[in-house]
Amino acid sequence: MGREIEKKFIIVKPSSFPEGTEASRIEQYFLLPAGGYDTRRVRARTTCGKTVYTYTEKRLLSGFTRIENEREISEDEYKALLAERDPAAGGIVKTRYVYRYRGHVIEIDVFPFWEGYAVLEAELGSENESLELPDGVEVLADVTTDKRFTNKALAVRAPAPEEFPRRK
């Protein structure tokens, strides 16, 4: 059982990414809750023509710290788990760009429903750890604890840009 401590921001979609950035197509589906977890999902992540399937369970612990169990699964197990899809949540497709910046892994998710905007996520070692964002990243809002910007919520209804909280 692992912990996920993650900050999340709405940003203006970058026009380019640093050299060495890895791009993946991610298709994920949310499953009906079970076992005391807030979120269960299956994911197919394709990078350079190779697809990896994962099953993940998450439960909010405090603030923006979650308990996370994640394991790689077979394509057959992935397809079988799709039978447990949450009909209210459905699925989501995105392109994820990943690179390292000053000791952190930066993940930028680009969704087909937002032109010009993206979500930047970075995992931290603790909720008190400082995070320096990459130069040139234009942050519109910190949405770390805003439930409207979880992937599951975005699969149901993505807020329009005029609904984004604005950085003060």
Q: Per-residue pLDDT tens for 58-107?
A: 998 888 899 999 999 999 999 999 999 999 998 999 999 999 999 999 99
In this structure, the number of other CB atoms found within 10 A of the CB of residue 22 comes to 12
DSSP state, residue 48: T
| Distance between CA atoms of residues 81 and 72, nearest Å | 13
pLDDT of the residue at 168: 58
In this structure, the number of other CB atoms found within 10 A of the CB of residue 158 comes to 17
Average pLDDT of the residues of the chain: 94
Q: Tell me the average pLDDT across 98-126.
A: 96
| Distance between CA atoms of residues 38 and 119, nearest Å | 21
Q: Is the pLDDT of residue 10 over 90?
A: yes
The identity of residue 14, as a single letter, is P
The pLDDT tens digits for 32-41 are 988 888 899 9
pLDDT of the residue at 1: 67
pTM of the model: 0.93
